[in-house]
Amino acid sequence: MKIVVAIKQVPERDAPVRIDAAGRWIEEADLQWALNESDAYALEEALQLKEQHGGEVIVLSAGPERVGSTIREALAKGADRAIHVDCDDLGQRDALAVARLLSAAIQPDSPDLVLTGLQSDDLGYGQTGVILAELLGLPHASLILHVEKSGSGITVKRELEEGWFQNIELPLPAALTIQSGGAKLRYATLMGIKRAKTKEIRRLTAAELGIAAQASITLDRIALPQKQKTTQILTGTAQETAAALVEKLKFEVRAL
C-alpha cells in the first residue's frame, strides 16, 4: 500500500502565546515547533499499515524551511521518503488553498491512501483531510481511530459522539482523517534519526505546483480569550455548595 501522510508543524503545546504587532497572528520568533498531535497518530496508523501489508509511507508537509525538522522526525519514525512543499505564505491561505497545494503535490504519486490528522493544534480548522479527498476525488471518512484492510478496500472505525463508534467500508484509493488516541505512538529513536539521514526529501514550491495563495475567509485579528482559568471556590453550607456546583455542571460545563 502506498500511503501519503500529510503532516503539519505547529507551535509546541507549551509555547508562549504572544500576539504580534499586527494583531493577526502570534510571535513566531521565539516558538518551539512540533508535529501536530493527530498527525502523529495518522503517521503511526500509516506505519502500522505498512508494517502489516508492506508498501511505502510518504510524508508531506507544507511550510517554510523550519518544517524540515518535523519532516525528519517523521522519517526517523519510519516514513520512507518525504515531500516538502516549501512556502512561507501559509498564513495567507485558507484551508481550501492549503489543501490545493497539498493535493497538487500528492497527485503525481497516486497513493492508495491519504491520511491526515483530524485537526491542527494551532488553527484547528479540521478540514484539510476532507478537502483533500474532495480535490483528489477520493471517498473519505473522518475521525478514524483504526484502519483495517479488507479485500480490495478498507474498513475503518469511526468515532461518533458520546462513546459510540461505527465501521465504514471504503474502496481504495481513499482519504482518512485520523483521530488522536487510536493507536500507541512510537517514540523517536537514535537509530531512526540516523537512518533518516539517507532518506529522500523532495522540495517543491507553490510556484512549481502552480497554486497561488488565495483565501475566501480571512483571519482579521486574534485576541486572548477573556476568561482565563481560575479556581472558583464555592462557599456556603454543604447543601448550598452542592446546589451551586450542580448548577455550574449543568449550565457552564454542560455535563449533566
Partner 1 sequence: MMVLMPFTLAEPAAFPVLERIVFAGLAIASGALFWRRFGPILHRILQSRKDADFRLAPFGRRMWEFVSQVLCQSKVIRQRPLPGLAHAFVFWGFCAFALVTLNHCAVGLGVGFLSPDGFFGRFYFYFAAVFALACALGILGLFIRRFFVRPRWLGAKLSWESGFIAFLIFFLMVTYLAAFFVPGGSPAIAALWWLHTLTLLVFLPIIPHTKHLHLVLSPATVFLSRGSFSRIPPLAGDEDFGLVAGADLTRLVSLQAYSCVECGRCTEHCPAANTGKTLNPKEIILGLRSYLNEFGPASAEPLLGKHNPPIAPFQCTSCGSCEFQCPVGIEHLPILVGLRRGAVNTGAWEDDHGAKLFLTLERGSNALGLQTSERDKFIQKQQFPIFDGTQEYCLWLGCMGGYDPKGREIVADFASVMRYLGTSFGVLHKEKCTGDPVRRLGNDLLFQQLAEANLEALTQNKVKKIVTICPHCVRTIQEDWKEYGTPPEVEHHSEFMARHLSQLPKPSQQESIAYHDPCYLGRYRNVYAEPRAVVEHAGQLVEAERHGERSFCCGAGGGLAFLGEETGERVSHVRARELVATGAKTIGTACPFCNSMFRDALAASGGNAPQLLDIAQLTARSLPQQDAPSAS
Partner 2 sequence: MSGILVVLEDRDGRIGRISWEAVAAALQLASTVSQPVHAVVFGADTSAVAAEAAARAVNSVLRVDHALLKTYSSDGYTHALEQLIRARQPEYVVFPHTYQVRDFAPALAARLGQSLIGDVISIGGGPVFTRLLMQGRLTGAYRHSGGGPCFVSVQSGAFRSDSVPGGAAPIESFVPTLDTAQIRTRTGEPFRAGAQTVDLGSAQLIVSVGRGIKEAENLPLVQDLATALGAELGASRPICDSGWLPMERQVGSSGQTVAPKVYIAVGISGAIQHLVGMKGSQCIVAINKDPDAPIFEVADYGIVGDLFEVVPALTAAVKAAKQ
- β-pairing verdict for 140-150 and 153-159: antiparallel
Q: Which of 71, 130, 121, 131 is nearest to 100 (CA)?
A: 131
Decide if 33 contacts 12 (C-beta within 8 A): yes
CB of 46 to partner 1, least distance (A): 16
Q: Which grid cell is 74?
A: 517523521
| Residues 5-34, interacting with partner 1 (CB under 8 A) | 12-14, 16, 34
71 to 18, 23, 120, 124: CA distances (angstroms): 26, 29, 16, 20
Regarding 192 and contact with partner 1 (CB under 8 A), the answer is: yes
123: Cβ–Cβ under 8 A, 6 or more apart, which residues? none
Taking the least distance from each CB to partner 1, the nearer of 3 and 40 is 40
For 99, the grid coordinates are: 489543501
Q: Is 254 in the site for partner 1 (CB under 8 A)?
A: no
Please choose which of partner 2, partner 1, none residue 135 contacts, taking the beta carbon within 5 to 8 angstroms, the exact cut-off set by kind: partner 2
* 159 in contact with partner 2 (CB under 8 A): yes
**Contact by Cβ (8 Å): 63, 143:** no
Q: Is 36 in the site for partner 2 (CB under 8 A)?
A: no
By CB under 8 A, name the one of 21, 29, 190, 253 that touches partner 2.
253
Contact partner at residue 134 from partner 2, partner 1, none, CB < 5 to 8 Å by partner kind: partner 2
| C-alpha–C-alpha distance, residues 183 and 229, integer Å | 31
Q: Binding to partner 1 (CB under 8 A): which residues in 151-190?
A: 184-190
- Choice between 82 and 115, CB closer to partner 2: 115
The site partner of 191 among partner 1, partner 2, none (C-beta below 5 to 8 Å per kind) is partner 1
Q: Is 52 in the site for partner 1 (CB under 8 A)?
A: no
Nearest to 40 by CA among 16, 12, 6, 13: 6
CA distance 114 to 104: 13
Q: Which of 140, 178, 192, 196 binds partner 2 (CB under 8 A)?
A: 140
Could you tell me whether strands 56-63 and 81-86 are parallel, antiparallel, or unpaired per DSSP bridges? parallel
Binding-site member from 104, 123, 196, 209 for partner 2 (CB under 8 A): 123
- Residue 249 binds partner 2, judged by CB under 8 A: yes
Contact residues for partner 1, defined by CB under 8 A: 12-14, 16, 34, 184-194
